[in-house]
């Protein structure tokens, strides 16, 4: 799979742009703030139907404009697909595949998988459990539409249950039977999500360990653990927490409280790992992400590397480039503020590399 061409209109700092890519390596060079990352985000948006960096779609529109659109041609197998994403402020987001609009954006997830490695990715290690759940949900959702649908439905029921708990407090009444209806739905859907996450962790753990060993000069052992309320009698746990739910006016038990633990020698890496160890673990997570999707779908995801050479030392860059040279990946997009460095790194690989200079939203 590869992205043959990309067109942008009013997307971030690009008023209008049409660009044709190499099916192997594409390097976007230019000063910081010129728009290199925005191009990667446009590719990510086409594949995932949302920005990797902006939580609200309206933030993707060029300043002063009330719409943006993206258009891409993607080659998958022996077929060429045309993908369009667009937003008019105040209207529903439009997503079309081969000129046919989707009813729901979620139907598109997983058709054209992508893996992004960006500077702010360390948040998944340093921040709370919500970031880690979101990270792993994003991976699994690219390989299972059923999982994504369950996740959407679970969050919908959770929102309804929390709203009911607030109504109980505001109106000073309690309906145990009504609350139990929502609880039963959370248990049923949550059990399916739990089973998928548990199986996923078993498959994903050795991939992380393999890549960490390759990327790190250290000999320490790393691990990935999954903790969930569903590992016990979940119905009894909901019952035990009912009074707490009523007091706090939110659901305190369920799949939305799951935790993924990143460990090194039995300790949490965010507390005891050095900066280099955390960096190696993060890249291992991302490369495991790539491997997992390829194994599950037989499609090599597009790999987006944002400003990665500034974040990795020479040893890790060398290891990563060895993987690139060995054809471990498919199409790759790289951003770099130092073109001479990129040219030197890619010189020895022997693959087709296309360089683009980005200057204030324009390419050459």
Residues tagged in the binding site annotation for ATP: 30-37
Of 190, 261, 260, 201, residue with least CA distance to 232: 190
| Contact yes or no for 13/59 (Cβ under 8 A) | no
Q: Sign of the CA dihedral 273, 275, 280, 286?
A: positive
Angstrom distance (rounded) from CA 101 to CA 89: 18
What residue numbers does the annotated binding site cover? Answer: 30-37
The position carrying tokens 């998988």 is 113
Closest-CA residue to 48 (of 134, 155, 158)? 134
Using DSSP's 3-state secondary structure scheme, residue 89 falls into coil
Long-range contacts, 66-69 (Cβ 8 Å, 24+): 66/90, 67/9, 67/10, 68/8, 68/9, 68/10, 68/11, 68/12, 69/7, 69/8, 69/9, 69/10, 69/11
Quickly count: other Cβ atoms within 10 Å of residue 268's Cβ: 13
What does the block give as tokens for 220?
A: 């320490």
In this structure, what are the phi and psi dihedrals at residue 29, rounded to the nearest 5 degrees?
A: -115, 155
């Amino acid at each position: 799979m590869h992205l043959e061409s990309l067109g942008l209109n009013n997307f971030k700092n690009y008023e209008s742009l049409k660009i044709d890519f190499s099916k192997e390596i594409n390097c976007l060079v230019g000063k910081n703030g010129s728009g290199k990352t925005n191009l990667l985000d446009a590719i990510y948006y086409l594949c995932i139907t949302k920005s990797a960096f902006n939580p609200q779609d309206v933030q993707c529109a060029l300043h002063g404009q009330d719409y943006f659109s993206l258009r891409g041609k993607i080659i998958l197998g022996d077929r060429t697909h045309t993908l369009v994403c667009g937003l008019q402020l105040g209207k529903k987001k439009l997503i079309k595949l081969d000129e046919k609009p989707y009813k729901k954006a979620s139907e598109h997830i997983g058709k054209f998988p992508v893996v992004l490695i960006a500077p702010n990715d360390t948040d998944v290690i340093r921040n709370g459990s919500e970031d880690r759940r979101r990270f792993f949900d994003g991976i699994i959702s690219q390989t299972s539409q059923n999982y994504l649908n369950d996740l959407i439905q679970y969050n919908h029921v959770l929102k309804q249950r929390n709203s009911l708990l607030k109504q109980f407090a505001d109106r000073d009444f309690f309906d145990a039977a009504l609350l139990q209806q929502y609880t039963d739905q959370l248990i049923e859907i949550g059990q399916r999500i739990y089973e998928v996450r548990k199986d996923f962790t078993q498959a994903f753990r050795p991939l992380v360990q393999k890549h960490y060993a390759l990327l790190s000069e250290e000999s320490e052992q790393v691990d990935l653990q999954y903790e969930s309320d569903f590992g016990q009698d979940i119905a009894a746990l909901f019952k035990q927490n009912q009074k707490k739910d009523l007091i706090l006016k939110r659901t305190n038990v369920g799949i939305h409280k799951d935790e993924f633990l990143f460990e090194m020698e039995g300790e949490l890496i965010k507390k005891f790992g050095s900066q280099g160890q955390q960096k190696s673990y993060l890249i291992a997570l991302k490369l495991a992400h790539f491997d997992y999707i390829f194994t599950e779908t037989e499609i090599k995801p597009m790999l987006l590397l944002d400003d990665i050479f500034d974040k990795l030392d020479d040893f890790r860059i060398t290891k990563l480039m060895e993987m690139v040279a060995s054809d471990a990946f498919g199409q790759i997009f790289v951003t770099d503020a130092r073109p001479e460095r990129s040219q030197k790194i890619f010189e020895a690989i022997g693959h087709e590399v296309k360089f683009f200079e980005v200057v204030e939203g324009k390419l050459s």
